[in-house]
Chain A
Amino acid sequence: MHFTLHVTADCNMRCSYCYSPLKNRSEMSDETLSNTLDFASTLSPENTGIIFFGGEPLLKRKLIEYAVDECKKRKDKHGYNYHFKITTNGMLLDDCFLEFAEVNRVIVALSFDGVKNAHDACRSDLAGSGTFEKTKEAAILLLKYQPFASVLMTLNPETIEYYFESVEFLHKLGFRYIIASMNYAGSWQDKHLKVLKREYKKLAAWYERSTIAEKKFYFSPFEMKIASHIKGEEYKCFRCALGKKQVSIGPDGTIYPCVQFVKDGISNKDYSIGHVKTGFDGNKRNKFYKLSQKTDDECEKCALKVRCNNSCSCLNWQTTGKFHKVSDFLCEHERILFPIVDKTAEKLYRLKTPMFIQKHYNPEYPLLSLIDESL
């Protein structure tokens, strides 16, 4: 099971699309952290995923170091197993932390929206200035320590015209794992859909070229859609199980079903499903889970129902206020993306492109790919 620890609601940036309100600046204490680790370790002793999240988690660097240290002690004493990940905006990323991450196997993911025009349009510092240059420096430093680090990019209506350019830029910079997410809560209009379609077509050509050239990369929108067909029944495992496989822990120890529900850690307690000191509120947890498994009437008879991203309750709630009701934009997005991705995959399959075949059909691909990269 994975536990996303919102170690602080504070942030050293002011991104226009941030879903966490600015009014409260709560932080996690050492005691809450310790309670959280006890709670997480007993629930999932064999494989506990700890994700440091915020706000900006590196504002609480000491707490992170303390957490990793505490986990080591618990491992030695009880044999618990942990793995760590942190999502950061990179402003405070330095050699010192990356050396710590290397020793303790903390995987670092960087939020970076791509080219300057895209990144600076939404991601500014406290003074309102763009953070592109600083983030780029952080990216180069990160890749020096962790060549397989993921980059998380958010796509907005205002910057969607830079989608392809940004992916290509991040890939050229050295990122091989590109996780691209739409800002579904953005003010998307019909005019943006045309641009989105154009950008996806450019990305399809890039995906095809890069695969044929045997470049190693993971571009989430394409990989997930291809997997939704190739994996068949198994793909259901990737679908949302709200509050079951992954939960978020607010700064005060309140448990939430997923990241978006935490907000500032204070104002959204209606959606809490327990507390690390007292454990899960089983009734609420199950109630939310059941709601998340419902399907919207419009989706029920849709031919893309099983492959679509309609099951992400967190996104649905953020955009429509209901766990199972998808937003108009999400539906439009999926209908644009599927035919483009499938056409690309069909061609690569028809040509029996070796990298496509191995990446999508070989269950040992991650291992083989790692060997290839390491030697």
Chain B
Amino acid sequence: MKRKRIKYYKVPLYNAQKEFLAKKDVLGKYIPVSWSKNSVITAVLSAILIGGYGSKLDAQLNDNVKKEDLKEGKKQLDQNKAVNLFPPLFEHGEGKGAIGCIVTAPPVFISEADAREIIEEECRKAGLTFDKHDFEVKDVAVRERNERLIEVYVNEKEGKEKNKKLTEEDKKRLEWYIERMQGKMLKLDGYNSKIGFGYEFISNEEYNDVDSMRDENDKLDLVEMSTVTEFNMKKAGQKLRNVLRKNGKFPSVVFYDPLVNMLDDLGVKKDLSWADRRKITGEKSRNLLRAQVLDFIDWYKTNNLDGK
């Protein structure tokens, strides 16, 4: 036993108070269930939300907070409470990768079927099952309907624009375009209709649709054409989560493909065959997805959504 100087200690991955409270209305977003049932706490929290923290609160309470202000605070809290039913994105795996001509370390994707199996297996253990699959969320479009292009293609197909005879192949091509432009509604991979809660896994097949969605934080990016397709699953996951949260009608958890790349330094021996490497990397990727699900289950229990 001896005294020993620590040369390096990593900065803990939880915010300092100042940083945390700098985020707008942040305390109102995370309210213990027992507090949310207590009208006095709700009123005091409302006062805090309106007026800031510390001595200001005392001053406000003493000055008899205006009723309208309290109402406004309460409204804000209720909104936050509803928003709070949306779990955060549980981050395990960077979700970044690329495929295409010059890519030397492609990721191993998790298929929709594999992901559903992992997610539902872990959820089942926690007592959460999903009675509906591919449950359509009618007012959340993952691909917007493009009226202008539909009109262009329909006109072309019907020969209104140019007076030329279309081949069957042309018609098929235009049908395909029209179909693409119809838009697409989000379908949740699983949904529990009893408690009104679902999940969605973003796979590589769905990535482009989700990535092209716009949420309030998006800036307009220039479209780059390339023979390489890049993925940022985590960002897409965050985006889908924000869209669902803003919509507010279908509380759901979003998982994303963690995308472990085959040449990542994850203890994979260099002399392994491509197939073995793929197998090991795939397993690591599935474990990361499982970690996302386990974090979600902790969250699910925390918020007593299981009613226990």
Q: Which of A193, A326, A357 contacts B27 (CB 8 A)?
A: A357
Instruction: State the 5 A-B residue pairs at the shortest beta-carbon distance, nearest first.
Output: A349-B14, A303-B9, A331-B3, A357-B30, A354-B30
* Bitwise interface map of B from 83 to 120 toward A, beta carbon under 8 Å scored 1, else 0: 01000101100000000000000000000000000000
Chain A residues lying within 8 Å of B302, measured Cβ to Cβ, are 212-214, 351, 353-354
Q: How many Å from the CB of B245 to the closest CB on chain A?
A: 13
Partner of A368, one of B4, B12, B45, B299: B45
Q: Which residue of B lies closest to A211 (CB)?
A: B302
Using A368-B44, A372-B41 as known contacts, say yes or no to A351 and B298 having CB atoms under 8 A apart.
yes
Docked-complex contact A212 and B33, CB < 8 angstroms: no
A361 in contact with B44 (CB, 8 Å): no
Question: Are A361's CB and B13's CB within 8 A?
Answer: no
Contact residues, B118-173 vs A (CB, 8 A): none
Q: List the B side residues contacting A232 at CB < 8 Å.
A: 16-18
Q: How close is A224's CB to chain B, nearest CB, in angstroms? A: 14
Docked complex Cα distance between A184 and B144 (Å): 67
Expressed in whole angstroms, the minimum distance between the Cβ of B41 and any Cβ of chain A is: 5
- Offer 20 A-B interface pairs, CB within 8 angstroms, sorted by A: A230-B20, A299-B5, A301-B5, A328-B2, A331-B2, A331-B3, A332-B2, A335-B4, A346-B13, A349-B13, A350-B14, A350-B91, A351-B88, A351-B298, A351-B299, A353-B302, A362-B53, A364-B54, A371-B40, A372-B34
CA distance A326 to B2 in the complex (A): 10
User: Taking the complex as formed, is B263 at the interface, i.e. its CB lies under 8 A from any CB of chain A?
Assistant: no
CB neighbors of B among A178-208 (8 A)? 188-190, 193
* Shortest CB distance A369–B (Å): 9
A236 to chain B, nearest CB (A): 13
Q: How far is the CA of A328 from the CA of B2 in the complex (A)?
A: 5
A345 interface residue, CB < 8 Å from B?
Answer: yes
- A372 x B1 contact (CB < 8 A): no
B1:A375 contact, CB within 8 angstroms = no
| CB proximity of A215 to chain B, nearest CB, Å | 10
Q: Does A338 interact with chain B (Cβ within 8 Å)?
A: yes
Which B residues are in CB contact (< 8 Å) with A354?
30-33, 35, 84, 302-303
- Provide the bound-state CA to CA distance between A190 and B295, in Å: 35
**B1 contacts A338, C-beta separation under 8 Å:** no
**Number of residues in B with C-beta < 8 Å to the partner?**
46
Chain B residues near A357 (CB, 8 Å)? Answer: 27, 30
Q: Mark A302-314, 1 if CB is under 8 A from B, else 0.
A: 1110000000000
Q: A189 vs B44: C-alpha distance in the bound complex, in angstroms?
A: 50
Inter-chain contacts of A299 with B (CB < 8 A): 3, 5
1/0 per residue A334-375: CB within 8 Å of B?
Answer: 010010001001101111111101101111100110011001
Are A230 and B17 closer than 8 Å at their CB atoms?
A: yes
Q: How far, in whole Å, are A360 and B17 apart by their CA atoms in the complex?
A: 8
B1 to A361, Cβ gap below 8 A? Answer: no
**SS class, residues of chain A in contact with chain B:** helix
Chain A residues with CB under 8 Å of B27's CB are 357-358, 361-362
Which chain A residues border B12 with CB–CB below 8 Å?
229, 342, 345-346
Q: Decide: B16 and A230 in contact? CB cutoff 8 A.
A: yes
B227 within 8 A of A: no
Output the least CB separation between A15 and chain B (Å): 24
Q: Is A222 an interface residue (CB 8 A)?
A: no
Q: How far is the CA of A327 from the CA of B41 in the complex (A)?
A: 45
Interface residues of B (CB under 8 A from A): 1-9, 12-18, 20-21, 26-27, 29-35, 38, 40-41, 44-45, 48, 53-54, 57, 84, 88, 90-91, 295, 298-299, 301-303
Contacts A188-B1, A354-B33, A358-B31; A303 near B17 (Cβ below 8 A): no
Q: List, in ascending order, chain A residues with CB within 8 A of B298's CB.
A: 212, 351
Q: A357-B27, A364-B44 are in contact. List 17 more A-B contacts (CB 8 A).
A: A212-B302, A298-B3, A332-B1, A350-B13, A351-B295, A351-B298, A351-B299, A353-B30, A353-B299, A354-B31, A354-B302, A358-B31, A358-B35, A361-B20, A362-B27, A371-B38, A371-B41
A73 at the interface (CB under 8 A from B): no
In the bound assembly, the distance between CA atoms of A327 and B3 in angstroms comes to: 7
Determine whether A231 belongs to the interface, using a CB cutoff of 8 Å to chain B: yes
A329 at the binding interface (Cβ < 8 Å)? yes
A352 touches B40 (CB 8 A): no
B30 proximity list for chain A (CB < 8 A): 352-354, 357-358
Cα A234 to Cα B17 with chains together (Å):
10
Cβ-closest chain A residue relative to B6 = A303
Chain A residues within an 8 Å CB radius of B53: 362-364
Residue on B nearest A193 in the bound complex, by CB:
B1
Cα-based distance from A143 to B6 in the complex (angstroms): 42
Min CB–CB distance A1 → chain B (angstroms): 22
Give chain A residues whose Cβ lies under 8 Å from the Cβ of B4. 298, 331, 335
- What's the nearest-Cβ distance from chain B to residue A352, in Å? 5
Task: List, in ascending order, chain A residues with CB within 8 A of B44's CB.
Answer: 364, 367-368, 371
Instruction: Say yes or no: B38 contacts A375, CB within 8 Å.
Output: yes
For A304, the chain B residues whose CB sits under 8 A away are 6, 9
CA distance A269 to B23 in the complex (A): 53
Given the complex, which residues of B lie within 8 Å of A214, measured CB to CB? 32-34, 302
Give A352 to B86 CA distance when docked, in angstroms: 11
A336–chain B nearest beta-carbon distance, Å: 11
A361 to B57, CA, bound (A): 16
B1 adjacent to A229 (CB under 8 Å): no
The answer for the CA separation of A371 and B14 in the assembled complex, in Å, is 27
Give the distance in Å from the alpha carbon of A82 to the alpha carbon of B258 in the complex: 59
Q: Which residues of B contact A335 (CB under 8 A)?
A: 4, 6
Question: In chain A, residues 88-138, which have Cβ atoms closer than 8 Å to a Cβ of chain B?
Answer: none
Query: Hey, which chain B residues are within 8 Å of A352, CB to CB?
Result: 29-30, 88, 299
**Is the beta-carbon distance between A329 and B9 smaller than 8 angstroms?**
no
> Chain A residues with Cβ under 8 A from B21's Cβ?
361
Q: Which residues of B contact A193 (CB under 8 A)?
A: 1
In the bound complex, residues from chain A placing their C-beta under 8 Å from that of B26 are: 361
In the bound assembly, the distance between CA atoms of A339 and B57 in angstroms comes to 36
A345 touches B14 (CB 8 A): yes
Which chain B residues border A212 with CB–CB below 8 Å? 298, 301-302
Q: How many Å from the CB of B61 to the closest CB on chain A?
A: 10
Cα separation A358 to B53 with both chains bound (whole Å): 13
CA distance A276 to B233 in the complex (A): 69
